[in-house]
A and B are shown apart, each in its own frame.
Chain A
Amino acid sequence: MVLDYSEKVPIIFPYKECEIFISGKLEKVLRPLALVGLTSKNIKFDALIDSGSDRTISFLDPFGYELGIGDDLSGEPDEIGGLSGSEPAWPIHIDLFVGNRRLNVPVHWLTRKFDVQKDYPVILGRKIIFDYFDVVFRQKEKLIYFYKR
């Protein structure tokens, strides 16, 4: 099979250099980051593009609440698993914008408070997004290409 994207116009996002304290030492890491709209294309958040995550994740507190999401939750949240164990999160479909493309995506809204020292506002996982786009990581170029399938 030949992959040919020459006729397609991609949405492009950058790898960004980040400085992270690991075991008391400052390390530079390259991370694939997007700006995506949550509920509106006019209000964007930075998102870690994570092909290893099944789901897209964000935080009710403060983002969901400020966007009017999660005001009428009832029942029990799901438990979602990660490397650090499991955490409760509410699955709620919202409109998510990648460039001008609108996707209705189930976002898992973590119940714990967002930590600006450690977290990204959004983890962009595979469900729906990676079905809709072919996502091509070109780390050497420091670019990520989203091609509509």
Chain B
Amino acid sequence: MRFQNDKALNKFVNMDLSQYAGLAVGIVGGKIQFQDPSPQKVLKLLLKQKNKDVALVCIPNRKTAMCI
């Protein structure tokens, strides 16, 4: 696949989101390091990872007005 060279994105592309529905997931260096229902908790942990590429992925499992 032609995705850009980005560990977080490549992890995200290969994630089965159904396993993480309703959770916030923290990716560090291309690996899932944290998962918790609280996105604030996960984000705080990610922001402590100095000089590392990190990503917060939140996976809704309920209908939202954002997308019909």
Contact = CB atoms under 8 A, between A and B. Distances in A.
Interface size class of A (residues with CB under 8 A): 35 or more
A21 to B, nearest CB: 6
A43 B46 contact: yes
Contacts of B61: 18-21, 117
Contacts, number: 122
Interface of B: 1-4, 6, 8-9, 12-13, 15, 17-18, 21-24, 37-40, 43-44, 46-47, 51-68
Interface in A10-63: 10-14, 16-22, 29, 31, 33, 35, 42-46, 48, 50, 62-63
Interface of A: 10-14, 16-22, 29, 31, 33, 35, 42-46, 48, 50, 62-63, 66, 82-84, 99-100, 114-121, 123
A35 B22 contact: no
Given A12-B4, A21-B63, A116-B37, A46 B54 contact: no
Max count, chain A CB within 10 A of own CB: residue among B13, B51, B60: B60
Contacts of A29: 67
Given A17-B17, A116-B22, A44 B56 contact: yes
Contacts of A17: 17-18
Contacts of B37: 116
A64 B13 CA distance: 25
Contacts of A14: 3, 12-13
Nearest to B24: A116
A117 B63 CA distance: 9
B64 A44 contact: no
Contact of A119 (B53, B66, B68): B66
A45 B56 contact: yes
